[in-house]
């Protein structure tokens, strides 16, 4: 009989993406298990970036109360006979979730009244302890022995052989990259794309489809554009990440998720970008800082450099990817 897990996720995106090492290791130790994850509605898109599938249950805001959680548990009919519950919300509502779903082993921190709802009580971690470290400590409690140490680091890029031609969706390494846009001005991307001499670009951008379609016929365009953003949701985005050579994005969480596919991501962000507090994975090294529609700085290997033209961004990509 397969092991069934229920995980109460954290209540913000930074901490949720920091749980990726936990989910990957859980899948490694229990490959045939059923993994159910409850997150506040609006956070489910982060979990769709995982390299493997989990069953996601968004908790509506209207039920995100002590009374509502019990009602939610009653109405979710396909989550039952839970063997292990992990609470990474660290609040009373999270503790109540595991209790309401009648999980056999309920793991949470030994703190306040909520500790009465757990069967396995963990010491309270010091302030600012990375949640990925806490989660692996929780996972170790159900293993025969603590797992070996590990770390997800940025992938090393090897020099490409010349004249190595690939088909777009072959199993071998393809010759396209993925560009996913959430909120950046379209004209920033257009300027960069028009500087490129060759290649295939897979575009994921729900906001600017008409602009991308128009750009496909631009007289100075030298790359092939494949528009993949006509559908809502991210269900097949992981497949594109896996096949991509590298990723350009303004989505912080996609950029971090790429690390777990052993892919390099270049993150376009504002100068108020904050690093994720992590113990088991690297942060993003390749940052392109923007103001409005202009690029102003790049970060490479932890070093900042002021830039004035988009050509320098292309130089950064070519240098890092050894193109």
Taking 90 as the threshold, does the pLDDT of residue 172 lie above it? Answer: no
Q: Are residues 26 and 119 in the same domain?
A: yes
Residue 156 within any structural domain of the chain: no
| Residue 220: predicted pLDDT | 94
Give the chain's domain count: 2
Give the model's pLDDT for residue 164.
35
Alpha-carbon dihedral sign for residues 88, 7, 46, 91 = negative
Q: What is the CATH number of the domain that holds 285?
A: 3.40.50
Q: Is residue 168 part of a domain?
A: no
Residue 167: per-residue pLDDT: 41
Other residues' Cβ atoms within 10 Å of the Cβ of residue 78: 8
Provide the residue range defining the domain that includes 268.
176-321
Q: What is the DSSP letter of 260?
A: G
Q: What's the start-to-end Cα distance of the chain, in Å?
A: 49
Same structural domain for residues 32 and 108? yes
In a domain, 276, yes or no: yes
Residues 180 and 135 in one domain: no
Give, in order, the Cα–Cα distances in Å from 56 to each of 155, 225, 232, 235.
29, 32, 16, 12
Q: Mark whether 214 and 274 lie in a shared domain.
A: yes
pLDDT tens profile 129-152: 999 999 999 999 999 999 999 999
| Cα distance between residue 267 and residue 317, in whole Å | 11
173 compared with 283, residue with greater pLDDT:
283
Closest Cα to residue 178, out of 258, 241, 266, 221? 241
Residue 146 in domain: no
- With cut-offs at 50, 70 and 90, classify the pLDDT of residue 231: low
Average pLDDT over every residue of 31-35: 97
Q: What is the pTM of this model?
A: 0.90
CATH number at residue 8: 3.40.50.2000
Position 112 pLDDT exceeds 90: yes
Q: Would you say residue 164 lies in a domain?
A: no
Residues 115 and 199 in one domain: no
């Amino acid at each position: 009989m397969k092991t069934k897990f229920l995980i109460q996720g954290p209540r913000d995106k930074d901490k949720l993406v920091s749980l990726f090492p936990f989910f990957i290791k859980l899948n490694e130790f229990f490959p045939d298990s059923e993994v159910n994850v409850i997150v506040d509605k609006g956070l489910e898109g982060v979990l769709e970036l995982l390299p493997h599938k989990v069953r996601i249950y968004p908790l509506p805001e209207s039920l995100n109360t002590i009374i509502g959680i019990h009602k939610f548990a009653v109405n979710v009919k396909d989550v039952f006979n839970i063997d292990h519950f992990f609470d990474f919300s660290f609040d009373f509502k999270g503790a109540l979730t595991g209790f309401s779903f009648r999980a056999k082993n309920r793991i949470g921190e030994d703190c306040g009244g909520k500790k009465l709802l757990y069967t396995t009580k963990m010491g309270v971690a010091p302030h600012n302890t990375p949640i990925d470290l806490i989660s692996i400590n929780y996972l170790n409690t159900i293993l025969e022995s603590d797992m070996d140490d590990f770390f997800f680091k940025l992938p090393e890029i090897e020099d490409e052989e010349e004249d190595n031609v690939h088909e777009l969706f072959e199993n071998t390494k393809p010759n396209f990259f993925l560009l996913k846009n959430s909120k950046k001005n379209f004209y920033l991307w257009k300027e960069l794309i028009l500087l490129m001499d060759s290649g295939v670009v897979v575009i994921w951008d729900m906001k600017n489809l008409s602009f991308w379609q128009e750009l496909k016929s631009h007289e100075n365009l030298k790359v092939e554009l494949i528009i993949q953003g006509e559908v809502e949701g991210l269900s097949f985005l992981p497949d594109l990440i896996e096949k991509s050579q590298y990723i350009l994005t303004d989505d912080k969480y996609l950029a971090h998720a790429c690390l777990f596919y052993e892919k390099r991501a270049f993150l376009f962000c504002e100068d108020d970008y904050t690093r994720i507090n992590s113990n088991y994975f690297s942060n993003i090294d390749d940052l392109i800082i923007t103001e409005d529609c202009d690029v102003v700085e790049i970060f490479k290997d932890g070093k900042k450099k002021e830039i004035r033209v988009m050509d320098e961004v292309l130089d950064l990509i070519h240098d890092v990817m050894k193109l």
